[in-house]
A = this chain, B = another copy of it.
Amino acid sequence: MILALDAMGGDYGPAENCLGAIEACRKFPDLDIALVGDTDRIGSAIDSVETSIKGRLHIVSAEESISMDESPARAIRSKRRSSLRLAMEMVRSGEAGGCISAGNTGAIVAGGVLVVGRISGIDRPGLGVVLPTLEKPTLLIDVGATIRCKPINLSQFAVMGSLFMKHMVGVSQPDVRLLSNGSEEIKGDEVISEARAMLVENSHVDFGGYIEGNGVPFGHADVVVCDGFSGNVMLKSFEGLGELALKILKNEVDKRILAKMGLVFFLPMLKDLQHRFDYQRFGGTPLLGVNGAVIKAHGRSKAPAITSALGVARDFVLKNGVSKIKEEITDLLPGEEDV
């Protein structure tokens, strides 16, 4: 299987991305990786790697790259030789089974729609993140692909999210819930309550009603559906609070002799927890609803996160993620009269 990696994406650039690709080749013997970007920088990043791995890394030259603060749709349209666009074109043409980028989220979404194309019947794609929670992994969809949604978008995220958790994560009957500002039926706005009504009617989704922000970390749903703005706020809030907790712990322990002594006893537990709740461990974020495996890695991905994202892409391809959605979506989507 060939996967295309946008070697220029993310905060750490080609060196880190290539390291991640090298490690992925070691981990998955069935993998070939197209490294798309600046040939010189990629070349030197993989220069010293053993021949057996090097033979599975293919440099694809891209003269341009898309930065984090560029206008997404414009960048994808105008930068036809950008690493992200070329990686996506490889997916469209079938040269690559899937593509991975740690770059500009908006551009990945725009490229997913404009270059790879949507699955027929899907109005807007959704970006899902698998969050570790107390009990089990939870898919939060959308976290930034579609900032403001129509009811049909939320309803389609629910369907795609449910399929993803079923086929990719192995949850037999995913409990799907809509994020709202209260659990009572009267909560939410017009869009959310209309999506609720659509999901109550949809016999193919096991819809459990509303979920509030405080239910998510406890794993009170397998799939949490929301618009990209709320999902982004929630994801980043979790991220920030997690970082804050570690920082405070460090500061406080440094200040207190007793706590410093206690830390010796706590360390194994803290390391274990940190690992358990590191959502980057789950690697990439699938862009669901596009006609190919498009995986977004976190902008701050270092090599292990890139390796992990490549693993997610490989898994998505092996399990025929796109075909599964395509096959079931026609049947699962609400009929025209509901749209």
Chain A residues in contact with chain B, CB under 8 A? 68-69, 71, 106, 133-134, 144, 147-148, 179, 181-182, 184, 186, 188-189, 212-218, 226, 228-230, 232-245, 247-248, 252-253, 256, 258-266, 268-269, 272-273
Contacts and interface: CB of A to CB of B under 8 A. Distances in A.
Given A248-B134, A252-B269, A218 B240 contact: yes
A237 B266 CA distance: 26
Contacts of A217: 237, 240-241, 243-244
Nearest to A276: B248
A182 B147 CA distance: 11
Contacts of A182: 232
18 contacts: A147-B189, A181-B232, A181-B233, A212-B232, A213-B232, A213-B234, A213-B236, A214-B237, A215-B240, A217-B243, A218-B244, A226-B233, A230-B230, A234-B234, A241-B241, A261-B265, A262-B263, A262-B264
Contacts of A264: 262
State the oligomeric state as a number of copies: 2
A186 B147 CA distance: 12
Contacts of A236: 212-214
Given A189-B148, A233-B181, A239-B214, A259 B248 contact: no
B247 A273 contact: no
A212 B253 CA distance: 28
A61 to B, nearest CB: 28
A334 to B, nearest CB: 24
A265 B268 contact: no
A129 B113 CA distance: 39
A78 B264 CA distance: 61
A259 B253 contact: no
Contacts of A242: 241
Nearest to A213: B236
A104 B290 CA distance: 42
A233 B232 contact: no
Given A181-B144, A181-B233, A269 B240 contact: no
